[in-house]
Structure 1
Amino acid sequence: MASRQEAEQQLQKMTSGLIEKLTPVLFAPVSMQKMVTSRDTPAKGPVWVSRTVFDKPEDSHELRSMLEDAFKPLDLGGDSTYDFSIEDVDVQWTAYRSAGKGKEPEPEISEQDKFDGLMKDISTDTVILYAHGGFYYTGGPASVRATTLALARETGGRCLVPAYRLAPQFPFPAAVVDLFLVYLSLLRPGKGALHTPVSAQNIVFAGDSSGGNLVLSLFALLHHIRDHAGGRVRFRGHQLDVPLPAGIATLYPHCDHTSSFDSHTSNKPYDIFILDALLHLQPTFPSCDTWPTKPPREDIYCDARTLIHPLVSVAIAPAWSAKDMPPMFIATGQEKLTDEQYYLARRVERAWCNGAVLPHVVRSWGRFCREVVARPGVLENAWVRYAADDVEFRGMELQSPVDVDEDVDVRREKMKEKVAGRKVWTGPTETAML
């Protein structure tokens, strides 16, 4: 195994190469990035993909009213306004297709037949509700198909990937509301749904980057409803208990929208996003018909005041103080988001959750998703660090680089200081590329 210094040098070299390749792509207009990354593409090879729609319930006004009431105590005195519109959500079921070979195109059969074929190929009851990443404004089910196929194959189960509403046209909480509808629809399907009801004990929330934030936000919302809103919602004409999932599995989740942790500076040499501010806030970033918004705002996902909402910057969500949480898997690297992920993980661990901080590896990720369903209550805490070339995953004990004893109120004040420096983005002020 290489020394830590050698591994870090290798990581910096890889990072520099990626930055050079990605810069032209990441500095394309928001509307162009969204169009390219969110479009659906035909599936090829050993994968089942069944497309369907989860319809909003006829009593969606009651669900909306419940969400409005649930959000009030979470807003911490803020004066932001939120749109809780409930809309239909396009989704894609994904699983390993044993008969698929190479780049063979997907079969030309109905979506129901594809779903039936998918169900015959799975070997476990695991359902992974997966939220794709993409800065909240790019991506879609097809953009993470390779990842969800790998997870489905590793678990023997199936993934469900929603095409949730994207910013900037649909700011927070639209994406979280969509995931909430999808989760409730898994528990209680609508008429004409392809699937039968799924037990919460068979469901794992998963996501990468901003998608990791969204599933953590969804979980925090569920916990808040259980603790402060009676734990029940009216959905599709019935009073439905809101259970927690079997587990949560995330890759490098975005936990602090204010970028208040030190790793945003200390880990800059190892992160492909080397800039101090988000790409879409750079003075060289091009404007388009969707960004900046009208009226302009300070962030593509929400306004400045909402950046410290506990369902946006989930590191400070009250859910991590609860003691009845399911196991959680967090994979992080030596990146700008590291400290905020450690901070959240330690808060989870102290709430008696079986937390794990592990490397970016699909096998470990998939094993976690499989075992929280198959063997609930048996996972143990694990904090392990791996060098970049540690291909055998021997690892070493992990030391947290952030003060995890810091009080949430102290962290919130630091977040407020960062927010105070945010400026409304009104369009590019420079024409040169980075």
Structure 2
Amino acid sequence: MDWQSKAAIGNIVDMIRSSVCAIAENTTISQQQKTSFRTSEAIPAWVAKFSFVPPQETSIQRMFFGVIDKYNHHGCPYFRPQHTEIVLEWIGPDKSFEKNSTSTNYSETDKYHHMMQGLSGSGTVFFVYGGAFYMNRQANYRKIVSQLSSKTGLPCVTVDQRLAPQHPFPAALLDVFLAYMALLSPPPGSPHPQIPASSIVIAGDSSGGCLALGLLQLLLEIKRSGITSIKCYGRNIQLELPAGLTILSGVADLTNSLPSYQLNAKTDVFPLGPPPSSLPGFPCCEIWPSKPPRGNVYCETEMLCHPICCPIMAEDWTGAPPLWFASGQEQVIDGIKIVAKTASSQGVEVIFYEYESMPHTFMWVLSESPQHQKCWDDWIEACMMLVKGASPPSRGGFVEVLGLTTKHVKIEELTHLTAKEARDLVYKALRAFPVFVGQPHAAPKL
């Protein structure tokens, strides 16, 4: 395979697109979801899983929904999820791993301590996994997360996310928020100590990147409201921001309405137009259409312009920690470019890499490519730099196929699209967004 040939890469992307589109357009949401629930292969890593009851302090719930409600400008009725069990999974390398061995003789606490003994770094990576908000479980990402832990020397942790359409926005975000709180203030029975926010790097890919940015925007809004501390699991803690975010193939617009969705169709893998699951003729199942019907698998249609749900709509990133982005030449890249451009203009340190001809999540799906290796190397460097408190100067780069040469790009020139123009396109898309009932239906009135 010639990874310096755009044509050769294009042939692979075409094959991936054919498979992705066939599934996305013709398979029920329930079947897509079930198929994604697979058990992880045996990996050379300690995996320690802990389940906790959510914090009982009602102030946490009020704080969370206070932010959601503040920016619900259309007064949209939405699903208000309850606190549920928090399931954290800690992952780190097992240097004595044998493929056919079993660790069932170890308690989860023993596994955690064995994991920590094999790590040299100081800090934690909180990885928020993707899956279009309705697919995947923690097990799907164990291999990726264990590799990240092994290469950085840092413990990594994931949280089990509730999935749409059964649990629409903001259920998954609440899970991510409560997991972050549990790192700052461990629940009873936790093996981990209190972890300073300044030692936590949040990482996310695809829709997980959207959730990570939503969490950051939530925390920023809480700080803007004057709240600096809160009681969680019986102790008062400072509600601080993480050391930084690393976002891979991030999603920041959920309407598919920005120019890159059409312009980068040949270098990416998704169907053109609105999500197939919102179009008449899409196969129905027991979980979709939802009850009552809505236009998007993840959320109510009006919530697609909510700044916590859809980060491109967030206007203020002032005070955010450093942000590191890596994306292919993707259909969804305009949204994440707007976030990067806006944050940088407000004093946030931003690093942004775009990889020529690479599709969505190429760092996972094209694992034999040199682009995969370069992206991983840069990602590891970013994580280690952030946990040390380093604040790198902003920079952008377009990584060319030929020779992996990085062409410098100013952050303010990542896209000629302005934030206002992008938001106007989102609002325009919402006016025509159909409610999916399994047959043609009138668009909602905003």
* Residue 411 (structure 1) aligned with residue 410 (structure 2): no
Q: 1:122 aligns with which of 119, 126, 131?
A: 119
Shift of 1:122: 0.9
Q: Deviations over 1:88-132 (max 9, x none)?
A: 12221111111124x344422211111111010111122111111
C-alpha RMSD of matched pairs (Å): 2.2
Q: 1:279 aligns with which of 267, 276, 280?
A: 276
Flag the 1:56–1:373 CA change in 2: closer, same or farther, 3 A: same
Contact 2:304–2:310 (8 Å) recurs in 1: yes
Q: Secondary structure at the match of 2:201?
A: strand
**Which segments of 5 or more consecutive residues in structure 2 lack a partner in the other structure?**
356-362, 364-374, 441-446
Q: 2:128 aligns with which of 124, 127, 131?
A: 131
Q: 1:365 aligns with which of 369, 375, 379?
A: 379
User: Which residue number corresponds to residue 17 of structure 1?
Assistant: 15
Flag the 1:98–1:284 CA change in 2: closer, same or farther, 3 A: farther
* Residue 158 (structure 1) aligned with residue 155 (structure 2): yes
Instruction: Quote the Cα distance in structure 2 between the aligned partners of 1:396 and 1:113.
Output: 48
Contact 1:258–1:308 (8 Å) recurs in 2: no
Q: Deviations over 1:311-331 (max 9, x none)?
A: 1110121342x0x22111111
Alignment size in residue pairs: 416
Flag the 1:139–1:15 CA change in 2: closer, same or farther, 3 A: same
Flag the 1:122–1:284 CA change in 2: closer, same or farther, 3 A: farther
Instruction: Quote the Cα distance in structure 2 between the aligned partners of 1:42 and 1:276.
Output: 33
TM-score by length of 2: 0.87
* Residue 52 (structure 1) aligned with residue 50 (structure 2): yes
Shift of 1:204: 0.7
Over 6 Å off, 4+ runs: none
**Which segments of 5 or more consecutive residues in structure 1 lack a partner in the other structure?**
430-434
Q: Deviations over 1:196-235 (max 9, x none)?
A: 1111111011111000000000010001001115233332
Instruction: Quote the Cα distance in structure 1 between the aligned partners of 2:90 and 2:387.
Output: 19
Q: Secondary structure at the match of 2:312?
A: helix
Aligned-pair identity in percent equals 26
Instruction: Quote the Cα distance in structure 2 between the aligned partners of 1:211 and 1:25.
Output: 21
User: Which residue number corresponds to residue 309 of structure 2?
Assistant: 312
* Residue 265 (structure 1) aligned with residue 262 (structure 2): yes
* Residue 75 (structure 1) aligned with residue 75 (structure 2): no
Q: Secondary structure at the match of 1:248?
A: strand
Flag the 1:100–1:341 CA change in 2: closer, same or farther, 3 A: same
User: Which residue number corresponds to residue 218 of structure 2?
Assistant: 221
TM-score by length of 1: 0.90
* Residue 208 (structure 1) aligned with residue 212 (structure 2): no
Q: Which amino acid aligns with 1:49?
A: V
User: Which residue number corresponds to residue 168 of structure 1?
Assistant: 165
User: Which residue number corresponds to residue 397 of structure 2?
Assistant: 384
Contact 1:180–1:218 (8 Å) recurs in 2: yes
Q: Which region of structure 1 is more displaced relative to structure 2, 278-287 or 334-343?
A: 278-287
Q: Deviations over 1:125-164 (max 9, x none)?
A: 2211111111100011111122111211121011111111
Contact 1:249–1:329 (8 Å) recurs in 2: yes
Q: Secondary structure at the match of 1:332?
A: strand
Contact 1:186–1:197 (8 Å) recurs in 2: yes
Contact 2:250–2:333 (8 Å) recurs in 1: no
* Residue 247 (structure 1) aligned with residue 244 (structure 2): yes
Shift of 1:86: 1.2
Contact 1:91–1:141 (8 Å) recurs in 2: no
Q: 1:398 aligns with which of 394, 409, 412?
A: 409
